[in-house]
Chain A
């Protein structure tokens, strides 16, 4: 196997970012492709790692930073983390490619005075070197084996998200970027509070040591603090108010990654709280399920009422993030695995959905859906992609979200209690709202007669291939995982099912 494969997945994007920063004027607008190349390489690395993990034991890499005192960093890829890292990286790759045209367009709108000069190149390359810290953060969070490292990478995500949004967002970008930063810091502080409690009890930051505080009274408070912070990140009602603003105002090309940024909290909860503190976590299961189901319905209703193209997927994220939490809250092996599989499916679906909304805004320069209609005639491929995104969110076969839903709800009913039964049925009916808004918005935006200005505008057509092909790639991956969900489930099985079986 290749040496330091996990470290490379973190370091390479950072190095590529450095190269882009240093050679930005030499690279010009090729910096986007350089970023993509770096991500192609890390995707390859992750595929190699996936094969390794799939065939055998987890991959573990340790690097000593200081001899005295002994400070070392350990990275680990098991079935859970490698699946999440690979999908996240794939989305970064797809959105990096998507951004090549999109960012140029954003700069045209935001900084017209720089066009044709070094300023334009500066902004263009700036996007990509900031963007590359997303894969750094995602890989770091996925592979971290200690809480400090996890916190560090979480903060990296928050910080670089702030700059990206402030530079390339929409109308109220700086205000919204600040708001996002504050919420991010709030989540991180809660997380840190939990970490401090854990350290005080265990004397270690290692995730595999957390179980030592099981049964301690302070375990409850550690869980509560971290969970509260992660609920804010996941935008669980009532901690969701930041989500519509942030999603609506930042550049669409990173919107999918923002969904990952929010949803990776589900992974953290499972990794850090559910598995090590299984018995202590039981108390939190029912409230999580109730909050999750409320959020699912609330988010869907909120989505239905939207008329702003960018707020549609924003509000949808609120609803969809809660699905994973519903599965995790049910606390059975199947529901947790299904919930995490749904997390992966959702981030793929949301990336497609967001990106296609971005395409429509990119082409039509219109965010108000009441001014749109009949676009399928001029943008047939975009219409199909939008519908696919909606279907991916709604859990329609053959997309992976269907398999995830089946596994997750089977796990929820497996609880065998009234709460599981009631919440399960309500949860299934809540999916109906997702189906409703998916087909409703498809109709409003793409079907029916075209408004006169759109009909006359010859520039309205499907966007360039650099924007469509990456989205098609994600759809294909989601379809493939839907047709063969065993691949993901076999990866999750030794980490979750095996652990839960021993509880």
Chain B
């Protein structure tokens, strides 16, 4: 029965999609509750799989149907192992709370039917990605979540002014429809490369099935390694997909603009679920390359881990630094998401650095995925309420909103503390595991980057929280609250309930954080070591664990204390610091402009490709067109003139000449046509003799 729950996880959202237009014919509330009900059924089905984690020796479970058997074999099925069960629950349960939140947030929206259809389609696609037993089916889920994300980011496709993001003036704004396009194209770059990697892997392994890939890895990876550079190429191709979807360097630029969608969409797709799919997939690939390096002895396989770890660390640092200066609330959270996913990637990358670190790194990545999904979803939902209340997307248009949003203050406060990594909230525990794994891998540069990112995280988190809820009210808030019957306050009850439920989850998860860490460690160990037989050795700590705690908490304080003085207490004046220091202004400009990476990409790829397209259309095509449609026919006409000349001079000449010759010959011959019989006779005799003579001679 357990495996049937996995199928139900896929079927319920699909039914939700199909029924939504029908339910809308009855009434809008029926449609709304109907859509949420199917997400509830999905979440319930996912929760029903949780007991499997307590009897994990029964895992993995697989159920398969053949999708394609010729000329290549692709099965369509589900795979239940600890990783898929954990991530499926994260996706389904958080999605359900977000759907509840949407009941209030999206109330009265004219595109509500489209919204519910896209949301349920997204949930179903995401679960397909997570539960699929086969890389092609994973890829189908992968593309479908991208498609739904495109639809949801560009949900306000009419591009009304109020939905623009970016700015404030004079800085450029981005319109929702353009943001959707950007997200879809940027993620598709990674998707296509990853598909290439999957297909090359299939060429060597002969299977797309995840478990079969693991089991046969020691056989096909050495064969692949016989082609120089092939393992590295496949590693890069496979990593490109997750880097695109999870907005990791160098594909991170789409996520900040993806915030143009409705608030809950950002919570669902761009915090809790879709952006985690890259982490999930890297986790899926790890056993293959681990086998390659540690069992089959293929040295190139280590590049997979090196790339993942370094990309993760760079992204964690880069995105966190951009969050330091951003003023759009959801964009700050987006940078934060990118940065936190960087931590997950870092953990998964270092997992392959040593046989003693595999379980620790793998567990840290999974653990941080879970905790981050919870607190970041809560943060985005709270941000939706805050933005709705403040009627502004900028945190410098807020301030002192605590008294208007007391519940949201609590919920967002708890989630922010978790993001910062304050004990005993889950963010602390999970980040701790990431730092420990990194330090124990003895890659100190990576560890240092991670620590600096912790400092940045603490700073920007404290900053946005203080600027929203504390300090003095901004001019904008004063103006809003001065209006009679103003709406600066909590949202609908469903919104508050969803945020509250997630906040309770955060606290509960935090209280049981250590136990959760041990439980996940056991599950990972069971999956990787017992089930898959990956060769590991017991870990001996090189450094006391408490040292990491000190370093982590110290980094938090280094970031949080200045932010406190700047934005909470107001003792320090951030504007004065900015005005008085040229260096600060330069750094600010650098970070505000996102390290100029976005501008570079726009210049090279958007303008570059459009410019190239114009060259092709305006220069090359026109020249080719002129050549074939104009010059060639003209050339043929010229040749035809030549033939006219030839016809007149040569052919006509020959014909006329022949005619003249015939006439002349006729005139000549007419001389012998005298009419005299005897002459004819003589001529006949002469001819006869001549012929006889010739015959006789021959």
Contact residues of A with B, CB < 8 Å?
179, 238, 241-242, 244-245, 298, 301-306, 333-334, 337-338, 374, 376-377, 391, 396-398, 402-403, 406-407, 409-411, 413-414, 416, 421, 424-425, 428-429, 431-433, 435-436, 439-440, 443, 446-449, 484-486, 489-490, 493, 496-497
Contacts and interface: CB of A to CB of B under 8 A. Distances in A.
Contact of B203 (A391, A414, A431): A414
Interface in B245-272: none
* B: interface residue count bin: 35 or more
Given A413-B203, A447-B159, A305 B154 contact: no
A493 B199 CA distance: 20
Interface in B328-361: none
A406 B192 contact: no
A397 to B, nearest CB: 4
> Which 7 A-B residue pairs are closest in the complex by CB-CB distance?
A305-B617, A447-B177, A304-B613, A305-B613, A334-B71, A447-B157, A397-B140
Most A CB within 10 A of own CB, among B74, B136, B192: B192
16 contacts: A179-B629, A241-B628, A306-B617, A337-B71, A398-B144, A406-B72, A421-B200, A429-B193, A431-B192, A436-B609, A439-B150, A439-B180, A443-B154, A449-B158, A489-B68, A497-B71
Interface residues of chain B: helix, strand, loop or mixed (majority): helix
Contacts of A485: 67-68
A221 to B, nearest CB: 24
B185 A409 contact: no
Interface of B: 66-72, 74, 136, 139-140, 143-144, 147, 150, 154, 157-160, 175, 177-178, 180-181, 184-185, 188-189, 192-193, 195-196, 199-200, 202-203, 233, 237, 609-610, 612-614, 616-618, 620-621, 624-625, 628-629
Contacts of B180: 439, 443
A486 B185 contact: no
B266 to A, nearest CB: 20
A490 B621 contact: no
B158 A304 contact: no
B189 A486 contact: no
Contacts of B144: 397-398
B159 A448 contact: yes
Given A334-B71, A413-B203, A241 B625 contact: yes
B181 A439 contact: yes
Nearest to A416: B203
A305 B203 contact: no
Given A411-B72, A484-B67, 16 more contacts: A241-B624, A242-B628, A302-B613, A305-B618, A333-B71, A334-B72, A338-B71, A410-B203, A425-B193, A428-B196, A431-B192, A436-B609, A447-B154, A485-B67, A486-B67, A486-B69
Nearest to B142: A397
Interface residues of chain A: helix, strand, loop or mixed (majority): helix
B68 A403 contact: yes
Given A431-B192, A449-B159, A304 B609 contact: yes
Nearest to B610: A304
Contacts of A496: 71
A459 to B, nearest CB: 20
Given A429-B192, A435-B188, A301 B140 contact: no
Contact of A486 (B66, B188, B617): B66
A303 B501 CA distance: 50
B244 to A, nearest CB: 11
A376 B628 CA distance: 39
Most B CB within 10 A of own CB, among A301, A304, A403, A424: A301
B617 A489 contact: no
Contacts of B71: 333-334, 337-338, 407, 411, 489, 493, 496-497
A406 B157 contact: no
A418 B362 CA distance: 35
B175 A448 contact: yes
B157 A301 contact: no
Contact of A424 (B177, B199, B625): B199
A493 to B, nearest CB: 5
A413 B136 contact: no
Nearest to A485: B68
A298 B188 contact: no
B624 A428 contact: no
B616 A305 contact: yes
Contacts of A411: 71-72
A186 to B, nearest CB: 11
Contact of B199 (A305, A396, A398, A409): A409
A245 B67 CA distance: 41
Contacts of A406: 72, 74, 136, 195, 199
B157 A425 contact: no
